[in-house]
């Protein structure tokens, strides 16, 4: 089963974007060997986007169970330099990279003649209780769609997986549970047999956990696969941080004082 999950990653096009951040998540990594002896391996590239040395921690979140104390390793990356792990010998699961400076991270899973690449997702885009995200590319009976979900806050979460049609109507929905720092893999053809749709929505319902997700679609008869990133929440146009609020208040106060002095 593990090998079949990795096989679904064959020949996907490169990820559309890479995000520079200090906390990045790969929803899927791993190494596995099929019964025929074919080996799938993960490689990752980490690039220091700043003029300062990077000190980073890599945490491995194994699939299928909680990881209250993930296995970690420390690495250093010089300013502007790239660190490659090609291959990265790690169990099936997810990978989290935390650094003191901004990094860009890209991963690849490959076997002989096949490969797929995707960018790591900033942890700040994770969704939790009362939040939602949408992934495109669901094709129902027309192909395979696998969902890779990883919890990153160290708390469990109950969330829903909803199939939406082209008009945005709900076709099917199921509640799921994910444990602390766990990586799970959902085959939507098995979860929603015979259900057609156009997109998949994730929504947190209960718990303190936060999740990052990646969708992978392969249509019938095709050898290649396409990755679909989760939608990211946008900050309010009118929202501001505490620091910004204090700054604006001080500027306004100074303007009022200046106006009173001129009288």
The full set of domain ranges for the chain reads 2-242
CB atoms within 10 A of CB 256: 10
Question: Higher confidence at residue 57 or residue 109?
Answer: 57
Question: Higher confidence at residue 92 or residue 11?
Answer: 92
Tell me how far apart the alpha carbons of residues 207 and 93 are, in angstroms, rounded to a whole number.
22
pTM, whole model, 2 decimals? 0.80
- Alpha-carbon distances of 166 from 138, 163, 170, 180, 226, rounded to whole Å: 10, 10, 10, 34, 19
In the chain, % of residues over pLDDT 90: 58
> Over the stretch 217-251, which tens digit does the pLDDT of each residue have?
877 665 556 778 899 866 544 344 444 454 445 55
The whole-chain average pLDDT of the chain stands at 83
Report whether pLDDT(157) > 80: yes
> Over the stretch 107-154, which tens digit does the pLDDT of each residue have?
987 777 677 788 999 999 999 999 999 999 898 767 788 899 999 999
CB atoms within 10 A of CB 260: 8
**Strands laid side by side in the 143-151 sheet:** 183-187, 143-151, 211-219, 226-229
């Amino acid at each position: 089963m593990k090998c079949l999950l990795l096989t679904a990653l064959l020949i996907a096009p490169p990820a559309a974007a890479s995000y520079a951040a200090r906390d990045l998540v790969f929803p899927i990594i791993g190494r596995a060997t099929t019964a025929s002896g074919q080996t799938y391996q993960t490689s990752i590239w980490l690039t220091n986007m700043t003029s300062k040395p990077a000190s980073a921690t890599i945490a491995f979140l194994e699939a299928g169970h909680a990881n209250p104390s993930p296995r970690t390793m420390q690495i250093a990356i010089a300013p502007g330099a790239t660190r490659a792990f090609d291959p990265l010998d790690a169990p099936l699961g997810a990978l989290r990279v935390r650094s003191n400076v901004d990094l860009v991270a890209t991963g690849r899973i490959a076997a002989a003649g096949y490969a797929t690449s995707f960018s790591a997702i900033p942890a700040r885009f994770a969704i939790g209780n009362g939040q939602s995200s949408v992934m495109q590319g669901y094709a129902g009976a027309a192909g395979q769609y696998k969902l890779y979900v990883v919890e990153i806050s160290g708390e469990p979460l109950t969330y829903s997986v909803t199939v939406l049609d082209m008009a945005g109507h709900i076709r099917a929905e199921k509640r799921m549970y994910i444990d602390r720092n766990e990586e799970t893999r959902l085959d939507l053809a098995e979860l929603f047999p015979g259900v057609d749709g156009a997109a998949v929505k994730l929504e947190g319902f209960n718990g303190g956990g936060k999740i990052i997700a990646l969708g992978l679609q392969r249509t019938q008869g095709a050898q290649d696969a396409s990755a679909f990133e989760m939608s990211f929440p946008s900050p309010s146009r009118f929202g501001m941080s505490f620091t910004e609020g204090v700054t604006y208040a001080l500027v306004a106060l100074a303007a009022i004082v200046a106006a009173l002095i001129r009288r």
